Amino acid sequence: MKMMTIVFASSMLLTSCYSYTSVVGEGAQGNNQVTEWNHYVIYGLAPVGVSDSKQMADGAENYTVYTRQSFVNGLVTAITFGIYSPSVTTVTK
């Protein structure tokens, strides 16, 4: 039982934050970045307010979208016990 507890605790501590990148057109051509938070509830199952990457790109044809759960987002999720689960989207043009 003690070993199972240690394995479970270790697996919880070693989890990582998720991230994914989408390249539109030829990808970012410069360093102009726009960042917005995405708002979810119930461990990310129900979106409340999600950013629109196309609108964030402001008409650019080539851009890169990077969505992730940062440390701060994970901390907020942990403090609220998963009721509120934010993430961050950054669009680089």
Q: What is the pLDDT of residues 46-62, one digit of tens each?
A: 999 999 999 999 888 99
Model confidence, pTM = 0.76
Enumerate residues 6+ apart whose C-beta is below 8 A from 34.
Answer: 56, 57, 58, 90, 91, 93
- Domains identified in the chain, total number: 1
> Do you know the residue count of the chain?
93
What pLDDT shows up at residue 2? 85
**Does 2 map to a domain?**
no
Instruction: Look up residue 76 and give its two tokens.
Output: 């907020």
CB 65 within 8 A of CB 89: yes
Q: Has residue 11 been placed in a domain?
A: no
SS3 73: helix
> Is residue 31 in some structural domain?
yes
Range of the domain at 24: 17-92
Half-sphere exposure of 68 (CA within 13 A, CB side): 12
Strand-by-strand arrangement of the 87-92 sheet: 19-24, 63-68, 87-92, 33-41, 46-49
Q: Indicate whether 29 belongs to any domain.
A: yes
**Residue 1 domain-assigned (yes or no):** no
Both structure tokens of 83: 């009721």
**Strand, helix or coil for residue 49:** strand
Could you tell me if residue 86 is inside a domain?
yes
Segment 15-73, tens digit of pLDDT: 556 788 999 998 888 899 999 999 999 988 899 999 999 999 988 899 999 999 888 88
What single-letter DSSP state applies at residue 84?
A: B
